[in-house]
Amino acid sequence: MPIPSSGVQTLGSILCVVGARPNFMKMAPIMAALGDLRPALALSLVHTGQHYDAAMNHQYFEALGIPQPDINLEVGSASHAIQTAEVMRRFEPVLDTRQPSAVLVVGDVNSTLACALVAAKKGVPVIHVEAGLRSFDRAMPEEINRILTDQISDLLFITESSGRANLLREGIAESRIHFVGNVMIDTLRRNLERAVPLSQILKDAGQNLQDSNAGYAVLTLHRPSNVDDPAILRALLETVLKISRRLPIIFPMHPRTRAMVEKFGMEEMLDVPELLLLPPMGYLEMLGLMKDARVMLTDSGGIQEETTALGVPCITLRNNTERPITVDEGTNTIAGQDPIKILAAFDEIMRSGGKAGRVPEFWDGQASIRIATAIHEWLGNGLRS
Ligand code: UD1
């Protein structure tokens, strides 16, 4: 860990928090950029343990060179209330002991809100990276996490201009909002050359892809709104199977989705040669799959952004997005859960190659440096934004 040894003058200390898979690729470049600052900052990393499987967790730390967490709260899986409460209960003594100048949280998972809430109530300033995104769908647990985390944050870093409008509407002072770009894309750009090719992934998995000459699609699915209801999941999978007859599909399955497929007895319907089921992929494997895909089908937020940065067509299997720039400027099409819309979006991509799209402003690989610079200035100004 880049913690300066005692006796070295530091500008302050930041406690960084990660919990779940989409946090890791955001935190990696931020910690690297903060670690490069002079005068130095004392950094420590807390992992809440929300995600714990090797495939969801350790692989990412290794691939992205994230320092080993100083503390793992080991909360594991539970209901939203229990998981959030357990993170809070276990994070409070860490904060009491470490007494950081600020707590830095990323994204919108339960760990993000839980740690922000503990810090804010103790009067420790909160920094939120990826603030201001709104789907306007409060049935989505992440939307609640986003709104509440932003309300109690002192320094808010946004990835796209919709974030500023959303935050101002919710009464956040303009001086606290900083448009810095997208740290996920910092990680993507840094690792593109290391992406694992499909041939290697297939070799490692001991699998083959049916008729891969025409290319392939990649599917990810894990939102509770898509996978927890058997009728919705069945309809989505039937649509996916139709698509797979025209373009083979690679489907790395999230543990939540696998559990639901087993619970609802849907394994058999997925047992077709055109659909390649894989375990959750590591970061470099997923990047390799995405960059060469003809189309991504997904309900992930991050993948909507990554495909826009890569120029790969994306069909989003949700009725909304909190990342509207991926539709307005990028390669994303919102198709929801409606088979007709999904198939029409797929047809259009096969016909035209999909939207050309452009890379949004500040998705240039430098977002983490902008963040580190702003934090440095803020600490230097005695935390006044
Ligand atoms: C969480 C985030 C979601 C993010 C997703 C990425 C919240 C509210 N949701 O959803 O925003 O897009 O991570 O993956 O924070 N499980 C395992 N192994 C693990 C972790 C989870 O098997 O390492 C299984 C467990 O059955 C668990 C289920 O997945 O109950 C759900 O895990 P949880 O962390 O509650 O939410 P995700 O669906 O992963």
CATH number for the domain including 148?
Answer: 3.40.50.2000
Would the CB of 20 count as within 6 Å of ligand 1?
yes
- Is residue 56 within 8 A of residue 18, CB to CB? The reply is no
343 is a domain residue: yes
pLDDT in tens, the chain (385 residues): 444 444 456 789 999 999 999 999 999 999 999 999 988 999 999 999 999 999 999 889 999 999 999 999 999 999 999 999 999 999 999 999 999 999 999 999 999 999 999 999 999 999 999 999 999 999 999 999 999 999 999 999 999 999 999 999 999 999 999 999 999 999 999 999 999 999 999 999 998 887 667 899 999 999 999 999 999 999 999 999 999 999 999 999 999 999 999 999 999 999 999 999 999 999 999 999 999 999 999 999 999 999 999 999 999 999 999 999 999 999 999 999 999 999 999 999 999 999 999 999 999 999 999 999 999 999 988 877 7
Beta carbons within 8 Å of 18's beta carbon, 6+ residues apart: 24, 27, 45, 46, 47, 48, 66, 69, 106, 111
Non-local CB neighbours of 354 within 8 Å, separated by 6+ positions: 295, 312, 313, 331, 333, 348
241 lies in the same domain as 111: no
Residue 53 lies in a domain: yes
Extract the tokens encoding 330. 């990028």
Residue 22 located in a structural domain: yes
Residue 156 has a pLDDT of 98
**Catalytic residue status for 222:** yes
> How many other CB atoms are found less than 10 A from the CB of residue 209?
18
* Same-domain pairing of 228 and 146: no
∠ CA 127-303-246, nearest 5°, is 170
Name the token pair of 266: 């849907």
Cα torsion 279, 324, 117, 373: sign: positive
Burial class (CB in 10 A: 0-12, 13-18, 19+), 229: middle
Q: Residue 314: which of 191, 339, 329 has the closest Cα?
A: 329
- Taking phi over 0 as left and psi of -120 to 50 as alpha, with beta for the rest, 320 belongs to beta
Is residue 192 domain-resident?
no
Assess whether 31 and 175 both reside in one domain.
Answer: yes
Residue 166 shares a structural domain with residue 221: no
- 5 is a domain residue: no
On whether the CB atoms of residues 278 and 207 are closer than 8 A, the answer is yes
Provide the CB-side half-sphere exposure for 308 (13 A, CA).
28
Answer whether 77 contacts ligand 1 (Cβ < 6 A): yes
Q: Which domain holds residue 172?
A: 12-181+363-380
Q: Both 177 and 218 in a single domain?
A: no
Length of the chain: 385
**Same domain assignment for residues 291 and 348:** yes
Q: How far is Cα 268 from Cα 270, in angstroms, rounded to an integer?
A: 5
Distance from residue 52's CA to the centre of ligand 1 (Å): 10
Say which residues have a Cβ less than 8 Å from residue 312's Cβ, sequence separation at least 6.
290, 291, 293, 294, 295, 296, 331, 354
Is the CB of 255 inside a 6 Å radius of any atom of ligand 1? yes
Do 32 and 170 fall within a single domain? yes
Q: Which of 61, 73, 227, 256 to mutate to test the pocket of ligand 1 (most atoms within 8 A of CB)?
A: 256
Provide the number of structural domains found in the chain: 2
Shared domain for 93 and 135, answered yes or no, is yes
Q: Whose CA is nearest to atom 19 of ligand 1?
A: 51
Question: Which segments of 65-197 does DSSP mark as H helices, in order?
Answer: 80-98, 110-121, 141-151, 161-169, 183-191
284 within domain boundaries: yes
Q: Are residues 173 and 214 in the same domain?
A: no
Q: Is 349 in the pocket of ligand 1 (CB under 6 A)?
A: no
Tell me, yes or no, whether 278 and 298 share the same domain.
Answer: yes
Catalytic pick from 51, 128, 222, 254? 222
User: Dihedrals φ, ψ of 232, to 5°?
Assistant: -65, -45
Ligand 1 midpoint to CA 148 (Å)? 20
Instruction: Tell me the CA distances in angstroms from 164 to 13, 160, 161, one per residue in order.
Output: 27, 8, 5
- What distance in angstroms lies between residue 56's CA and the mean position of ligand 1's atoms? 9
Same domain, 145 and 229: no
Please check whether residue 187 lies inside any domain of the structure: no
Measured from the Cα of 112, ligand 1's closest atom is: 15
**Structural contact between residues 158 and 179, judged by C-beta atoms closer than 8 angstroms:** yes
What is the Cα–Cα distance from 136 to 323, expressed in whole angstroms? 11
How far is the C-alpha of 376 from the C-alpha of 361, rounded, in Å?
23
Report which protein residue has its CA nearest ligand 1's atom 21.
Answer: 51
* Ligand 1 contact, 22 CB (< 6 A): yes
Question: How far is it, in rounded angstroms, from Cα 34 to Cα 297?
Answer: 35
Going from the Cα of 344 to the center of ligand 1, the distance in angstroms, rounded, reads: 30
Task: Check whether residue 344 and residue 204 sit in a common domain.
Answer: yes
Distance CA 339, CA 265 (A): 21
Predicted TM-score (pTM) of the model is: 0.96
Query: How would you classify the pairing of strands 41-47 and 295-298?
Result: unpaired
Q: Tell me if 222 sits within 8 A of 298, measured CB to CB.
A: no
User: Hey, what are 50's tokens?
Assistant: 């929300």
Q: Does a structural domain hold residue 158?
A: yes
Q: How far apart are alpha carbons 213 and 208 in whole angstroms?
A: 12
